Amino acid sequence: MSLLEWKDEYRTGFPSIDYEHQTLILAINDIFEDSSSDQESLLSALAEIHALVEAHFALEEKIMRDQRYPAYIPHKQDHERLLDEIRDIMDAVEKYGKIDTGVALGERLSAWFAVHFASLDKDLHAMIGA
């Protein structure tokens, strides 16, 4: 069972951005599905996800700045919220050892992706064109 499912409604029309979104979903699902990870492996996987998300956001934010996207600030703030959520999960793993990462990821990330892809990203890509 996957935590996050890719949906056609998440498509932006930008193949590179869609590919990165799909890669992020796969990486998150890998952590969710691997319940045998020890603390060190889990932290490493979460750090990889954080790095992937951060790099992806840098690409999107550059596009927004280049296009003088008027909703840049709230979009960037939403990006920062997700990075903070991932960092909070990493901090909990460091502090308490292995936590129920599936639940943490599910509660914090699943809704974020669905809302962000379907609203902010959709609006961005509709405005700047694919």
CATH number for the domain whose boundaries are 10-128: 1.20.120.50
Q: How far is residue 58 from each of residues 35, 48, 65, 71, 105, measured CA to CA in Å?
A: 30, 15, 10, 16, 22
What pTM was computed for the model?
0.81
Nearest-10 crossing angle of helices 39-66, 72-96: 170
Sequence ranges of the domains in the chain: 10-128
d(CA 121, CA 124): 5
Q: How far is CA 35 from the centre of its chain?
A: 20
Going residue by residue through the chain, which has 130 residues, state the pLDDT in tens, using 9 for 90 and above.
677 788 887 777 778 888 888 888 888 787 767 655 677 888 888 898 899 899 989 988 998 899 899 999 999 999 999 999 889 888 888 888 766 655 666 667 777 877 887 788 878 878 876 5
| 95-129: burial string, b at 16+ Cβ within 10 Å, e else | eeeeeebeebbeebbeebbeebbeebbbebbeebe
What pLDDT sits at residue 104? 62
What pLDDT sits at residue 72? 94
Phi-psi sector, 13: left (phi>0), alpha (psi -120 to 50), beta: left
